[in-house]
Amino acid sequence: MSNQIARKYVKALMKSFDDKELKEVYESLEELSSACNVDKFNNIIESPDMDRRKREDFILSLNENSDTKFINFLKLLSQHDRLELMPEICNELKYQEALKNNEFIGVIMSDFDITQEKISTLEENFSKKFNSKIKLKKSNDEYPGVKVKIDDLGLEVSFSLERLKAQMSEYILKAI
């Protein structure tokens, strides 16, 4: 439910701001969203002792963006008790911008080192395949092989050494 609400706010943001302003809005929202990871911040925002006006003033004091439309957006979130949705709004805004610009971020998981050259080759090949710009980040994982995940495209490609060994054994046993 909260994800649907976040989508509505993002839709309104995208209609209200141009591309340059939207980038600034995203950066400001990202800063404010990072504060939502701090327990003390959440205690202040969710405190029943603090009225809406004080919450609004508190959020505005943390904001560095002086754009009046963005300030009004923060006031609107405060008035409707939606400040806790800032991280979801930020994520949804990032996702919608990626869709709009046809850019996607994925993760490469592997238990061994992959050179930047090979990552670039994978990015290039996936970009051609999906006709979009794909950026891959390396994640040190204990996956025995290589796994590429691009969540926004619903893509997961993996090559497991264990699976290869099992298939080769099965093939050899069938041949005998």
How far is residue 7's CA from residue 144's CA, in Å, rounded to a whole number? 37
SS3 category, 157: strand
Average pLDDT over residues 5-17: 90
CB atoms within 10 A of CB 166: 11
Q: Are residues 82 and 160 in the same domain?
A: no
Q: Are residues 20 and 41 in the same domain?
A: yes
167 is written with which tokens? 């298939």
Q: Are residues 117 and 77 in the same domain?
A: no
CA angle 28, 36, 135 (to 5 degrees): 60
Q: Are residues 158 and 112 in the same domain?
A: yes
Average pLDDT over residues 81-95: 89
Structural domain range at position 18:
2-98
Q: Are residues 89 and 118 in the same domain?
A: no
Whether the predicted pLDDT of 163 surpasses 80: no
Q: What is the CATH number of the domain that holds 147?
A: 3.30.2320
Band of pLDDT at residue 80, cut at 50, 70 and 90: confident
Q: Are residues 120 and 84 in the same domain?
A: no
Q: Are residues 130 and 90 in the same domain?
A: no
Q: Are residues 79 and 137 in the same domain?
A: no
Q: What is the CATH number of the domain that holds 77?
A: 1.10.520.20
Q: Which of 98, 131, 162 is the last residue of a domain?
A: 98
Closest CA to 82 of 24, 9, 25: 9
Q: Which of 68, 98, 128 is the last residue of a domain?
A: 98
How far is residue 57's CA from residue 61's CA, in Å, rounded to a whole number? 6
Q: Are residues 123 and 170 in the same domain?
A: yes
Band of pLDDT at residue 8, cut at 50, 70 and 90: very high
The tally of domains found in the chain comes to 2
**What percentage of the chain exceeds 90 in pLDDT?**
6
Whether the predicted pLDDT of 1 surpasses 70: no
What count of residues does the chain have?
176
Q: Which of 98, 129, 154 is the last residue of a domain?
A: 98
Q: Are residues 10 and 69 in the same domain?
A: yes
